[in-house]
Structure 1
């Protein structure tokens, strides 16, 4: 028995030594990502310092957003993908529904300091129990209001839907008929309806167990009816009115810049995208998630904004894991990457950057709202292209009066279930 234990000890020691050796030798790696110039520059610098620290060479492969999914799809299909990849969170089930499309990062927990993420954050990157994507940052939808416009109307920044609705006639009377306390057009209308349905039911759109829509058609119709109430009471512009103005992106809309559209429901990480265009003197503030009567939860839409994955075909997965850990958890990588991908999900990175003053307090405030809010786990299938198209098309038809709320809800339920059918088997 003692001899067996001794042999096992020797075997384990040898295995550990082999693992260390596998990491210690110089490796030639590739990393792919999308982004803009600032992200490209920061990532290349981070790869340089991490490569020098650990003795590896990493070839950068970067593009803009357009066409990146198609490029990665082609590479993965041919087994030619980079060792380390920036993977959009909704792409995880497209490439790895069973969890076998990427390396399981739990296999490298001795290299990657996973305790810098909460269990909930890690679960967002899991497919079939395997950690396929490590969240680079965690983002969510937060309500934002133009404090200056509300002050001009003699009102405080709203914290409830009742206050938002009550502000509409005051805006019209004191500021003008073309002033609205909130904006919810196109995709934001979908996100708003989803938030209301999640609050009322306590469920995400997708039931992860059955891979079907978790809401009944009646429950969804009720949420669509709330959206119409906002239109009818002058809280938001109608879909048709927004289309007549060209369906401009909100941050490019002069009405937003002037404060005539005084609120929205946006990603916390995009705060400056919406605050920067405001005319001088206007102040945009994030508030806690607005809840409807009878809400079971705040229904926070919280997700990994993007993930880092390691190729299942990598010849040097341990070295790739070492670089991944450096980028997200080690001081040199953290300093170089900074906030090029938003407020980091890694606790080590977040604490280091906050201490260094690299994260602006208002951005931290918006993110704190998201992290503290309640809601069911959000399925990445919410952002599947077919799911989004079905939801958008049906809601647009409703907004134009071509179908009623009940018909729109049933079309969404049926259409989303059809889009998910291929994954159920």
Structure 2
């Protein structure tokens, strides 16, 4: 392997474009996979590369032919299976950065901010240098920060590199995902060790953590929630969409779920308890109790402002549900729904009740998953209302809720994103054909 520089610092390598031998971009480096040893220098065995679709895959360093400033050249053969660190593996940025070590000279505590790798005998890449900063930590918005002298030291000048730091900060990891979707951060947490993912979760604010939990497989949701204090876990559940919170609580032991419900705010707990009363694969179990709900006299301009709220999922923001008061679920009599496209075509001061779509029939809580999928396919619609026998709106089902239940339980873990839509469409078609048959 040829390298344009003798020593490579991982922080500078992160974000570097990976090219195949023909010069086509394969992806970008996001981390370096290390093997830590009780004695001797840690060995770098591969790169975590983010390929199109923001999927992270493993690229062995044996497949890398050249590392130069601004580019990494590989053999062009990339395994698109999602990367997940093994028990023996450690992520340089995700798990070593921010770890504390002790400088032998003066027994001073310092924190790792970067590491250098070099290729030695047998073309083996090893960690040779650490960039550290000394000084006490201070708690900040993103985790723990510190001020102090920085230096580049050899491995034999420090102790504690292989020891997990219980107070290890999460600022760098969280900051690196600031502009990413929650699903991307969720995928990164699944790559890390359970202890490190718990540290990152502990440093996230409740809303961000709630969004990330909604993107994790059920087993990982339960595992991560169990690492939080009970009062913090209840706060995070309150920040989740009620249907996702109900799904998560349904996977917990009954006594634990009951304890968390008692710690939640009464109104949030009421909505979740309502959803827990329905079977998972029914309209009632699939719905959320927080769609965009308005009265018939509400102006078009007000409706457009409501669907513009960033926290509302795109599928639910595609329409508003018009009801008689009260406007909280279960509402007064359900009048109908109005599509966002229709709102965009009408005068801002007009009342939304004039533009209800009469062709959309409501679902009942006991309707099956197959029936929900069939209706969505028939109406070519992203969300459907669910009403009780007295025509009170109970909630709405969005297409993402349906796909989450139609796809295999481990779809987040194995399928490349490029093929997920194909699989999703096949799932909807299969469910629809089964219902018609």
Answer whether TM exceeds 0.5 for this pair. no
Which structure has the highest strand share of the two?
2
Q: Which has the larger radius of gyration?
A: 2
- Structure 1-normalised TM-score? 0.26
TM-score normalized by the length of structure 2 = 0.26
Structure with more helix by fraction: 1
